């Protein structure tokens, strides 16, 4: 029997995940849940569950900082991120920080169980859209493509995601620079790189993307 801990600050979502885990008894056993990061980290350290299913936005803790904290508390055991945030922006970054899987909340009812059992088998789990993008990028980095001058496009870096998150909350370039300890020029470079990678044509499109997709 594998123990599972759930971390989500939305009562309805948390109850739904708890109900889903309970439906797979005795293969899965819910050992606890929490609505705040502080409480969740403490219980994870105490309970040492086989799997943690966690949101990315928990009160004041949001985005990749949440992922990093949960992964650190969980140690070598797997973490499955279930989030409303766009997987094409966050999934690879979450995996880079040590999470083993990423599921969009809109698909959670259909995919969480498959993802959870995959992680418990020692595998990773992302959607077909994300895995296809990773595979396509790897193929573009093959010797043939590099010889032809096409080394593929990188995903958004962790810093670029942080800039997008700040833009989503209405921060100006100067405010972002101050908050991240960067120069305004560096933030402008990040903004330009984000627009290029996402195919956005203007600053207004960048802001709209940050508000609607982050």
Give pLDDT tens digits along the chain (214 positions).
Answer: 999 999 999 999 999 999 999 999 899 999 999 999 999 999 999 999 999 999 998 877 778 889 999 999 999 999 999 998 888 788 888 888 899 999 999 888 889 999 999 999 999 898 877 777 666 655 554 443 434 444 445 578 888 888 988 888 888 899 999 999 999 999 999 999 988 888 888 887 788 778 766 6
pLDDT for 214 equals: 63
Q: Are residues 35 and 106 in the same domain?
A: yes
CA–CA dist 6, 31 (Å, integer) = 9
Burial zone of 12 (CB within 10 Å; 0-12 exposed, 13-18 middle, 19+ buried) = exposed
Query: Which residues does 40 contact at the CB level (< 8 Å), separation at least 6?
Result: 5, 7, 34, 54, 58, 70, 73
Which residue range forms the structural domain that includes residue 208?
A: 158-213
> Residue length, the chain?
214
CA–CA dist 9, 193 (Å, integer) = 33
Provide the number of structural domains found in the chain: 2
Phi, psi at 103, each rounded to 5°: -130, 135
Q: What angle do CA 69, 65, 171 make, to 5 degrees?
A: 160
pLDDT for 83 equals: 92
Q: Are residues 72 and 125 in the same domain?
A: yes
E strands, the chain, where?
2-7, 28-34, 51-54, 79-83, 101-104
> 3-class DSSP state for residue 83?
strand
Q: Are residues 167 and 109 in the same domain?
A: no
Q: Are residues 38 and 111 in the same domain?
A: yes
Last residue within a domain, chosen from 94, 111, 130 = 130
CATH number of residue 47's parent domain: 3.40.50.2300
Last residue within a domain, chosen from 130, 145, 177 = 130
Residue 140 within any structural domain of the chain: no
């Amino acid at each position: 029997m594998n123990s599972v801990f759930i971390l989500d600050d939305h009562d309805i979502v948390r109850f739904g995940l708890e109900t889903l885990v309970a439906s797979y008894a005795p293969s899965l056993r819910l050992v606890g849940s929490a609505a705040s990061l502080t409480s969740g980290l403490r219980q994870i350290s105490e309970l040492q569950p086989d799997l943690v299913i966690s949101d990315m936005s928990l009160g004041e803790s949001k985005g990749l900082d949440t992922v990093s904290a949960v992964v650190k508390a969980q140690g070598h055991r797997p973490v499955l991120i279930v989030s409303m945030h766009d997987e094409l922006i966050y999934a690879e970054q979450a995996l880079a920080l040590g999470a083993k899987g990423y599921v969009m909340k809109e698909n959670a009812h259909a995919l969480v169980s498959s993802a959870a059992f995959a992680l418990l088998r020692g595998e990773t789990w992302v959607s077909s859209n994300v895995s296809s993008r990773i595979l396509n990028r790897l193929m573009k980095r093959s010797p043939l493509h590099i010889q032809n001058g096409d080394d593929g496009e990188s995903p958004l870096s962790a810093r670029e995601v942080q800039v997008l998150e700040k833009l989503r909350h209405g921060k100006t370039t100067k405010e972002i620079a101050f908050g991240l300890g960067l120069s305004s020029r560096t933030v402008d470079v990040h903004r330009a790189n984000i627009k290029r990678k996402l195919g956005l044509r203007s600053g207004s499109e960048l802001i709209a993307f940050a508000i609607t997709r982050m």
